[in-house]
Amino acid sequence: MPNVTVLDHPLLRHKLTLLRDKTTPTAMFRQVAREISLLMAYEVTRDLPLETITIETPLEDMQADHLTGKKLCIVSILRAGNGILEGMLDLVPSARVGHIGLYRDHATLQPVEYYLKLPTDIADRLVILVDPMLATGNSAIAATARLKNAGVKAIKFVCLLAAPEGIAAFTAAHPDVPVFTGAIDRELDDNGYIRPGLGDAGDRFYGTR
Ligand code: URA
């Protein structure tokens, strides 16, 4: 699948298993998701451009690597995206952060925006959009459209798990946006859950069920 990367680091795969296990308690789920998110941030920023600058070490001048290009902004799709945000910020603490809140309208089943807060200079930034579960893809598709509408030119979408249906819908709607996921599971069930999945990510992060 062009533009879809399944991250295959053994640590990440092992930690995903911990998240999937229903006996993993809330505190551990949160901690492990944070660790996975840091690993995902590492992979997703692998192609950031570098320039060479001159610095002085305590011993001599040297030509050294320095990040250049667009600054980062991590945008979380509420509420479960916040569980990914923390681990990403552990690795890139200077990144700006945006939030998009979407709920599903019961009549139309379409996502409706109820909250939006983005940095004013977001159009000039590389945006890493995060939501743990790419299920139907509707929220991620709407959030990406909203970011493009705000002038963002460079977006990467990161999730823990994806359903084949969500991948198909998202890549059809936004073929220019690369997707990074920990796994592509078997299917989406009739209730919109990814199978085998990990259950409701928000509930597992926050212990609300
Ligand atoms: N959202 C979740 O939290 N879990 C799923 O399986 C699908 C969507």
Q: What is the pLDDT of residues 148-172, one digit of tens each?
A: 999 999 999 999 999 999 999 999 9
Is-above-0.85 flag for pTM?
Answer: yes
Spacing, Cα 199 to ligand 1 middle (Å): 6
pLDDT digits (tens, 9 = 90+) for 62-79: 999 999 999 999 999 999
| Pick among 3.20.20.540, 3.20.20.70, 3.40.50.300, 3.40.50.2020: CATH of 4-206 | 3.40.50.2020
Range name among 1-10, 104-113, 184-193 with the lowest pLDDT average: 104-113
| Residue 203 annotated in active site | yes
DSSP letter at 31 equals H
Please name the residue whose Cα sits nearest to atom 7 of ligand 1: 193
120-136 burial, b for 16+ CB within 10 Å, e for fewer?
eebbebbbbbbbbbbbb
Q: Is 125 a catalytic residue?
A: no
